[in-house]
Structure 1
Amino acid sequence: MNGDIIIDKEKILERWAEYIRELFKDDRKDHNIMKNNFAGPPIMKEEVETAIKKMKHGKATGSENISVGLIEVLEDFGIGKVTHLLNEIYDTGQIPTDLSKSIFIALPKKPGATECELHRTIILMVTSPKYC
């Protein structure tokens, strides 16, 4: 922008969207295309179980409200559903839209920061599938 302070809520959101797009711009060609010509074996339940056990507990859930603890409590059923979903992604190359969404949060580096560049931007991402 030209240094003016924006006070209109819609214009503030537009400015942040512009800043985030520029900050995380991806100039790679075909970066959204996931090829599904994998020649490996399917993902095993044991691999998923091991990965879930390594995940940190007590983390905030995403919009799906599914925590690591919830998947663990569901035991074999939960692990089976997650394994099925992961294998479907692996086989088709199609990542569900919800798993590719992120929430951006701007935290001021110093009190009173008014410019986008004077903020740290953190990204919250969904880490557990809701449609198992």
Structure 2
Amino acid sequence: MEAEKSDVFKESLLSDATDGKLNSFNDNVSNVTCMNDIDSCVDELSNILDGVASPLFKRNLSANSYKNDYVDNKWYTSECEEKRLSLYNALNMYRSNKSEVNRLDMVCKRLQYKACIRKARLNYDRSETQKLLDSRKKNAKLYWKMLKGAAGVKDANISLDTFEKYFRSVNNPEDRFFTPDDDILYFMERYENNEFNIMFEELNVPFTNSDIITAIKQLKNNKSGGLDLYLNEFFKNGKDVIVQYVLPLFNKIYDIGYFPTVWSEGYVISLHKKGSINDANNYRRITLLSTLV
């Protein structure tokens, strides 16, 4: 986080408007009685921090905001570019007003863009294949040039559906790809033997101010956020304000014994390990969870 933005972020946290929202949040936390109340408070805190951070860090997307990985490909057409611009316009609309109508429009534009890309690539591949077949007998020089060009390393050609099915399978005990995790087996055995009190006795105490400060000091910069888009820098630069509001929330979660649903969700990122980049079995996954957890 840049020094100038860090100072503005701190000032925004200390503003009267934000202070009023945080005090209201604290009141709501103190009145929590059930799991739904916990989820509502987590969402409320997320909205407050988003309101402080968005003016500093959120940007509208333009045609050049993100690298276009396709534009340099020969198969990329003007129609593809039009669909891409249409998608980013729809995404900007959704970011400014997260209504269901705007969300559906964004999803529709994204599907149209992806479909256009697939069609353009398919048509180009068909054309190149036919050119290769024709040159085999008519133009030997072109034929070997095309073969050499085809030997280059290409991007992985694995659909999201394929990744989803594979990652689900490795977590399904009834699937042939499933591999039991020793730590989970040990944990489940302790649970079935009612040994949790022995395992977690030292952790079975309320959170303290120093616990949270110590945890924040251990956070590293330039790490990805989860679904709530919290960055470690938010807590490191705003700890003097944030801790006094996060502490009651954590202890209320501890008292009720409920882990917020949203903290169990995250972005799944695929990392190639070895072998063919077009085989989902050669990837491992990491999940980006909320940095607040």
Q: Quick check: TM above 0.5?
A: yes
Question: Which runs of 5 or more residues in structure 2 are unaligned?
Answer: 1-114, 119-157, 174-179, 189-196
Distance 1:92 1:121, change over 3 A: same
For the 8 Å contact 1:44–1:83, the answer to whether it is kept is yes
Higher-strand-fraction structure: 1
1:1-132 map, 5 Å? 12-25=159-172, 40-110=204-274, 113-128=277-292
For the 8 Å contact 1:103–1:123, the answer to whether it is kept is yes
Paired residues in the alignment total: 116
For the 8 Å contact 1:109–1:118, the answer to whether it is kept is yes
- What TM-score, normalized by structure 2, do the two folds share? 0.33
Q: How many angstroms apart in 2 are the aligned matches of 1:123 and 1:75?
A: 25
Considering only aligned residues, what root-mean-square deviation do their CA atoms show, in Å? Answer: 3.4
For the 8 Å contact 2:275–2:282, the answer to whether it is kept is no
Bigger Cα Rg: 2
Higher-helix-fraction structure: 2
Q: Percent identity?
A: 28
Question: Which runs of 5 or more residues in structure 1 are unaligned?
Answer: 1-7, 32-36
For the 8 Å contact 2:253–2:259, the answer to whether it is kept is yes
Distance 1:75 1:126, change over 3 A: closer
- What TM-score, normalized by structure 1, do the two folds share? 0.66
